[in-house]
Chains A and B, each alone.
Chain A
Amino acid sequence: MTTHTEIAAPRRAKWQLKLPLLIWFSIAWLALMLLIAVTGDLWQPYEYQAIDLHARLQPPVWLEGGSWSHIFGTDHLGRDVLSRLVTSIQVSLLVALVGTLIGAVMGTLIGLIAAHFRGWVDDLVMIAIDYQAAIPFMILALAVVAFFSNSLLLFILLMGIYGWERYARITRGLALSSIQHGYAVAVRTLGASPWRIYGRHILPNIANALIVNMTLNFPQTIMLETSLSFLGLGIQPPMTSLGNMVGFGRDYLLTAWWLASLPALVIFFTTLAFALLGDWVRDRLDPTSR
């Protein structure tokens, strides 16, 4: 089966180093997003669900008819777009973060189990990895949502399952090579338990590769979450997420373009910043890769 990591982590590119401006932009943007996510209330002039039917579809302040009371305008129910945007950023980042962490922990654990027990356990894990890698995850997620009906818990779990196989593959490969020679053997002859060998020695040594994969996985989780929410099959109203906002804004493209394009811009800048920064970090952490 084809390995996807090879595609997403291509040959070391030099251009990032010569365009540090882009890296600065990425860091600044992500810092802003983080700030907004942490200090959400400060940025919200209104409750994000507060409906004001007298002020429906108001344009942003810089357009004709806009006012400072709704800087980014209002949606079809008169809800403040800025306030909704802030909550959406919080929700989207949180879901992606929790999802990435679940995937990382699960995948790493499965990879270690495969490497430790080998034999049929390993075979089983490898089949599962191939199987998962062969089917586009979005299709799998859609099927699960169809069969089990949507809920927030299920959705976050789905985001967690996304990408586990890459962590598992990386962990398994690196752990297998570490266990067989060198320091792991040495620590075993000292009488260390497997827990200690994996936890204290092998994991810290392969952490770099796992972190690199996390920088790849995180923006992809954001993309998956926003896509599913855009389709109306992810985060459900009254909760809101960036994809969700774009989805509802799509119906008003002709009359109120800001409804869809503002959250769409936020998504684009965030995923782009992650991609640029991820490439750059990968080069820094892993100068010998490829």
Chain B
Amino acid sequence: MIPKSNSPTAQAPLLQVSDLRCAFKSSKRKGFFGPHHLIHAVNGVSFEVNAGEAFGLVGESGCGKSTTAKLILNMAHASGGSVLYRGQELVGLSHQAWKPLRRRLQYVFQDPLGALDPRMTVLDQVIEPLTIHQLHDRNQQRQLATQLLHSVGLQDHQLRKYPHELSGGQRQRVVLARALILEPELLICDEPISALDVSIQAQIINLLQELRRAMGLTLLFISHDLSVVRHLCERVAVMYLGQIVEMGPAKQLFNEPRHPYTQALISAIPKADPGQRSERIPLMGEPPSPAAPPAGCRFNPRCALATERCRNEVPTLVQSGDNHAVACFEAKIPVTEVA
């Protein structure tokens, strides 16, 4: 099930997620005194992120992509599986053991206003990670934070302001600065732009790309917005109901999507060139509740290609020679590309 990296320069990946699972109890019970329903928010997710790349995790809201990020960072409790960071197991680590790792793995939140303490100036909030990890003296901390805030595009007079006095885009810049001041290796961005105005979104994405180049960041980018992921990421995984259904190099995945779900998602991206019209593949119905997933392929009730087999058997993620994996019985894998 774990897709192996077949590239000739087989380096150990920076982050290796295998068969990650998260189940929590629903408040509903089966019967009056029966056990709680188990909701599998993340159900056997495996992928790896190589040093220096930007990896995108996409899917509709509620598909478990944010939960996956939280599991990696130990903000939610994993019920199974493993997360290796540079070969070190992260699942089940204590708070103490996590602390040095927090410097290397950082997280950027969806809602920048919620993620900032309303009663602290932005400068103090950017200094805080340095204080927590006891790096540098007070003066140096202030200097570093000021520099970084400048480089994410804030001006001097904004440094002493409180979060509610800034605009949404400025707040997200502050959140970015706070995450970057520890000079992390891996930055996990959980829908970092979905709370922002469309005009601001592009600025933040460009900033992210710039910073990535300048600091040599590895990026795990979580979004429901495929066009942003296409623009930013080298490799992409598509999630549906707690599972990865397709994963591959971004260009390839967007040009020749193999899973019917991916095809539907991509056909829904608005095209810049109105002449280049493609047929939009409609998705039927709503995604089912993770509390009661359908039997067989989880996508089968909404799939136009579903057969009897899809309703009974669960497809596994199968990799072809071009690093492109898909979990579908009906997927057409180009023969020429199978090595």
What residues make up the interface of A, taking CB atoms closer than 8 Å to B?
181-183, 185-193, 196, 200-201, 204-205
Contact = CB atoms under 8 A, between A and B. Distances in A.
Nearest to B188: A189
B128 A183 contact: no
Interface string B97-117: 011001100110101001111
A208 to B, nearest CB: 10
B19 to A, nearest CB: 24
Nearest to A191: B102
B130 to A, nearest CB: 10
Contacts of A188: 75
Select the residue from B95, B103, B106, B132 with max chain A CB neighbours within 10 A: B132
Contact of A189 (B106, B116, B120): B106
Contacts of A196: 132
B98 A186 contact: no
A204 B117 CA distance: 10
Contact of A190 (B95, B114, B118, B129): B129
A181 B102 contact: no
B324 interface: no
A197 to B, nearest CB: 10
Given A189-B73, A190-B128, A190-B129, A181 B114 contact: yes
Given A185-B75, A186-B109, A191 B129 contact: yes
B4 interface: no
B116 A190 contact: no
Interface string B146-183: 00000000000000000000000000000100100010
B119 interface: yes
B133 interface: yes
Nearest to A207: B119
Nearest to A192: B132
Nearest to A201: B117
A57 to B, nearest CB: 57
Given A190-B129, A191-B103, A183 B118 contact: yes
Contact of B119 (A185, A186, A189, A205): A205
A187 B127 CA distance: 12
Contacts of A181: 114
Minimum-distance CB pairs A-B, first 9: A191-B102, A182-B114, A186-B115, A183-B117, A190-B129, A189-B107, A191-B99, A204-B119, A192-B132
Given A181-B114, A191-B102, A193-B132, 18 more contacts: A182-B111, A183-B114, A183-B118, A185-B115, A186-B109, A186-B175, A186-B178, A187-B128, A189-B73, A189-B107, A190-B132, A190-B182, A191-B99, A191-B103, A192-B132, A193-B95, A196-B132, A205-B118
B75 A189 contact: yes
Contacts of A193: 95, 132
A186 B176 CA distance: 12
B65 to A, nearest CB: 17
| Centre residue among A188, A193, A196, A204 by max chain B CB count within 10 A | A188
Contacts of B133: 191
B129 A186 contact: no
A50 to B, nearest CB: 52
A86 to B, nearest CB: 40
Nearest to A182: B114
A182 B129 contact: no
A248 B70 CA distance: 67
A185, A189, A205 pick with most chain B CB within 10 angstroms: A189
A191 B120 CA distance: 18
Contacts of A200: 128
Nearest to B105: A189
A9 B181 CA distance: 44
A30 to B, nearest CB: 27
Nearest to A181: B114
